[in-house]
Amino acid sequence: MLSAEVLKAFADVRAARGERRETLDLSLVGIDSAEIASVEIDDEAVEVAVVFRAQIISVERSPAGAVIRGDQAAVVATADLWTFSRALPAKGAAWTLIATDEAAESP
């Protein structure tokens, strides 16, 4: 479940890539860790920020299939900060992804 802002950001990047007729091949090799970076609670919601450290393979290709960025043979370590939110009082188990960013420190 994505917030409207996160969904729009993902859709805008995908649409821009589509207009350029480029493709992205992204493979998750594995998740090394997921650590809670912060928790904020107020009367209306809980927000939890989680740092995901993972190994990925990412390759962007031109319309002709040439590699623009990345390397199909290189596994790259990443550290992303995802922020999840849940309204209070909590009903059910659903959380909403409200923000994504690179983590402040590298893995």
Q: Is 60 exceeded by the pLDDT of residue 107?
A: no
- Assign 34 a pLDDT band (cuts: 50, 70, 90): very high
Q: Is 80 exceeded by the pLDDT of residue 106?
A: no
Domains in the chain: ranges and CATH: 4-87+97-102 (3.10.450.240)
Express each pLDDT in 69-99 by its tens digit: 999 999 999 999 999 999 999 888 899 999 9
Express each pLDDT in 9-20 by its tens digit: 999 999 999 999
What distance in Å separates the CA atoms of residue 88 and residue 43, rounded to the nearest whole number? 7
Express each pLDDT in 62-71 by its tens digit: 999 999 999 9
Average pLDDT, stretch 30-55? Answer: 97
Q: What's the confidence (pLDDT) of residue 46?
A: 96
Question: Is residue 68 within 8 Å of 62, Cβ to Cβ?
Answer: yes
Query: 């969904």: which residue's tokens?
Result: 7
pTM of the model: 0.86
Q: Is 50 exceeded by the pLDDT of residue 38?
A: yes
What distance in Å separates the CA atoms of residue 50 and residue 47, rounded to the nearest whole number? 10
DSSP per-residue codes, the chain? -B-HHHHHHHHHHHHHHHHTT-EEEEEEEEEEEEEEEEEEE-SSEEEEEEEEEEEEEEEEE-TTS-EEEE-TT--EEEEEEEEEEEESS--SS--EEEEEEE-SS--
